[in-house]
């Protein structure tokens, strides 16, 4: 029962002073690095948007960040421009041990659709390739940490559980945006999907 550590979007734009800062987003970096030493595989995800992405509020006339719109694949929160390909904000936090990664999965690079989950774009159909990678390596248990708990970590964890992986989320090594009750809803949804929520000791 091999296990992997999945580190979700620990990037500059999601840390304090970033374009889409998650409160205390940088506080998890040290403990996450420590977890890497015991993991049989380390996988990092990286938000990687082209400029003018359809999930950016700036791409929609008269819309503001955090407005909700309907896209062909369902409801979409509009975000501040963030994690633009090749930008400083898209880089991993400078103290994250990114060189320990076996694999880096980039997501959100399709300009027409956002991608919260490490496994699927937001249409819940188009795969990122992560499932195939894990299957071929014989990995069936996942420990997830990162940013933000109520969006990308949540979607990744629920998708992984639906795919049949054993999933644990270390909630102490995540931070949330908490947009209009999104944190409570995400925690309930993860529990319902069979995700183990663990406060840990870090």
CA-CA-CA-CA torsion sign (144, 173, 198, 192): negative
User: Which distant-in-sequence residues (6+ apart) come within 8 Å of 120 by Cβ?
Assistant: 126, 127, 128, 159
**Which residues participate in catalysis according to the annotation?**
9, 107, 152
Report the pLDDT value the prediction gives residue 135, as an integer from 0 to 100.
97
% of residues, the chain, pLDDT over 70: 99
- What's the whole-number average pLDDT of the chain? 96
**3-state DSSP assignment of residue 145:** strand
Place of tokens 């580190």: 7
pTM, entire model: 0.96
Residue 185 has pLDDT above 70, yes or no: yes
């Amino acid at each position: 029962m091999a296990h992997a550590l999945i580190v979700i979007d620990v990037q500059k734009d999601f840390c304090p002073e970033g374009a889409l800062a998650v409160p205390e987003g940088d506080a998890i970096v040290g403990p996450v690095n420590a977890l890497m030493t015991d993991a049989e595989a380390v996988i990092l995800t990286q938000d990687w948007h082209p400029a003018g992405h359809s999930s950016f509020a700036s791409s929609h006339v008269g819309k503001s960040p955090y407005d909700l719109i309907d896209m062909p694949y369902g409801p979409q929160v509009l975000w501040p421009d963030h994690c633009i390909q090749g930008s400083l904000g898209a880089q991993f936090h400078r103290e994250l041990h990114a060189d320990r990664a076996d694999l880096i999965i980039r997501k959100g690079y399709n300009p027409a659709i956002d991608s919260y989950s490490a496994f699927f774009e937001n249409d819940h159909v188009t795969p990122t390739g992560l499932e195939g990678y894990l299957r071929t390596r014989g990995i069936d248990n996942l420990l997830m940490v990162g940013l933000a708990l109520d969006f990308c970590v949540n979607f990744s964890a629920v998708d992984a559980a639906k795919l049949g992986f054993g999933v644990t989320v270390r909630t102490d090594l995540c931070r949330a945006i908490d947009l209009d009750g999104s944190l409570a809803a995400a925690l309930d949804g993860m529990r319902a999907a069979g995700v183990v929520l663990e406060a840990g000791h870090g």
